[in-house]
Amino acid sequence: MNRIMVMGVSAGVGKSTFARTLGQSLTIQVYHLDTIYWKPNWIEASSEEFSARQQEIVLLDSWITEGNYNSTYSIRMAKADTIIYLELPLIICLYRVFKRWMTNIGKTRPDMGEGCKEKLDYQFLKFICTTYYPRKKMMKSKLQAFKEIDSENRVITLKSKKDIHSYLDSLNT
């Protein structure tokens, strides 16, 4: 387990926190895709730039990417040996998004692009609510396909806070 994709069903599921902790436990560099995609003041990177940076990352011997970004999934998936997928309930994800917003109003989180201050708006909430169930369904088939590519590929699905803590604890024993 050296080339790991951390993905999740939604914003607020805990991908960034999980990836940071996983990276510390395994001493593997974490690459937050949001820091690559978002330039200061919420300007999007070009698709060429975003793809090229990920192409560089996946050539390394070990890495953890954190984030979904369906448009570049195939770049990471082709080189990954493990996908860790977080799938907590929608209500938990929404709660965490609100909590994160309240905690970080006016600040830029370390897992975001520089100068991208925390924000919460109707469009983002709508995105979370309208993509949660379709993404859940889509990811089931993507994870199955990933396992079928190579018998060595691992998929780890964590569906609760308890699952997440138990998994991380198992790495430190």
**Amino acid identity at 83:** I
pLDDT tens digits, residue range 28-55? 999 999 999 999 989 999 999 999 999 9
In angstroms, rounded to a whole number, what is the distance separating the alpha carbons of residues 119 and 10? 16
Are residues 88 and 165 in contact, defined by beta-carbon separation less than 8 angstroms?
Answer: no
Tell me phi and psi for residue 64, to 5 degrees: -130, 120
In this prediction, residue 114 carries a pLDDT of 86
Of 1.10.1660.10, 3.30.470.20, 3.40.50.300, 3.90.950.20, the CATH number of 3-171 is: 3.40.50.300
User: Residue 6: is its pLDDT beyond 90?
Assistant: yes
Q: What percent of the chain has pLDDT over 90?
A: 90
What mean pLDDT do residues 133-139 have?
A: 95
pLDDT tens digits, residue range 116-125? 999 899 999 9
Are residues 3 and 62 in contact, defined by beta-carbon separation less than 8 angstroms?
Answer: yes
What mean pLDDT do residues 131-148 have?
A: 95
Q: Where are the beta strands (DSSP E) in 14-119?
A: 30-32, 38-39, 43-44, 63-66, 82-86
In this prediction, residue 173 carries a pLDDT of 73
Give the chain's radius of gyration (CA, Å): 16
- From residue 111, alpha-carbon distances to 66, 81, 114 in Å are 9, 23, 9
**What is the average pLDDT score of the chain?**
95
In this prediction, residue 101 carries a pLDDT of 95
**What is the domain partition of the chain in residue ranges?**
3-171
